[in-house]
Amino acid sequence: IVIREGGAARAAATATNAANIAGAPLNVGAEEVNQQQQGFKRDADEYMPIANITRILRRVLPTHAKIADDAKEAIQECVSEFISFITAEANRRCRRDYRRTVTPEDVLAAMASLGFGDYLESLTVFLNNHRTQQDPERGSRNQISQSVRRDGGIEVGFLHHHQPQGAPTVRPPPPPPLAASTMGYYVPLPPPVAATMEDEEEFGGLPKVTNEFGGGEEFDPFQ
């Protein structure tokens, strides 16, 4: 298991604290002071804000429950690790299928194959609602379906709605079937959307490909 940067930063901060307690030289370098500050203020790039996490855990605990600060911090670290863990698997799927964009479907399929299948139902509903709200017309056509196969595996794919008569978009041929996937889960590739893709300029810097099986809407909320 790879040791994450978060853990390393924490260990460094602890070491610095220990050194200070033991009466280390007074001229602490600026870098060490910085690390100490980062150790105390953990809303750094690598974690979810503690306030958000606290709000979530308060929702499931009784009102009288108390939570130690280091327990909250432990949960904070676990969340980041969870994101990394799932993303690494989702990215692996992309690479395997020669795709460059990690899609929500990849994330859902990764969760299913890593044991978090229980989350799929809520997430599917959540994502479908989001798509419908973002773009009522196209969103309601781009819905995720989730069904349990005969062999008990979970299948995450697209509901194929028929296009209305006279629609201007041309239906491209269906994509080739995927190679054998892990643990029997399979995510069929959706047909490429005719609309323009948002440029993910931050990432990659590769030339824009017009026939990308990017999956669903390329909606970028970060612009």
Partner 1 sequence: MRQPGAYSKLLSGGVSGKTGPHSLPLARIKKIMKKSSEDVKMISGEAPIVFSKACELFVEELTKRAWLITLQGKRRTMQKDDVASAVITTDIFDFLVNLVVEDRNNSTAAVAANKLG
Q: Please report, to the nearest 10 degrees, the dihedral formed by the alpha carbons of residues 188, 81, 205, 134 taken in order.
A: 60
The answer to whether residue 75 forms part of the interface with partner 1 (CB under 8 A) is yes
Residue 213 sits in the site that holds partner 1 (CB under 8 A): no
91 sits near partner 1 (criterion: CB under 8 A): yes
Residue 136, classified by CB atoms within 10 Å of its CB into exposed (0-12), middle (13-18) or buried (19+), is exposed
Neighbours of 96 (CB within 10 A): 12
Q: How far is the CB of 152 from partner 1 (least distance, A)?
A: 17
Alpha carbon distances (Å) from 16 to 6, 37, 70, 77, 155 = 15, 11, 18, 20, 49
Confirm or reject binding of residue 131 to partner 1 (CB under 8 A).
yes
Of 21, 30, 63, 70, the one binding partner 1 by CB under 8 A: 70
Question: What does the alpha-carbon distance between residue 10 and residue 23 come to, in Å, rounded to a whole number?
Answer: 20
Q: At its nearest, how many Å lie between partner 1 and the CB of residue 50?
A: 12
Q: Closest approach of Cβ 29 to partner 1, in Å?
A: 25
Applying CB under 8 A, the span of 116-124, 152-160, 167-175, 185-193 interacting with partner 1 comes to 116-124
User: What's the min distance (Å) between Cβ of 193 and partner 1?
Assistant: 11
Residues of this chain, 26-45, that bind partner 1 according to CB under 8 A: 45
Residue 95 interacts with partner 1 (CB under 8 A): yes or no:
yes
Answer whether 175's CB lies under 8 Å from 164's CB: no
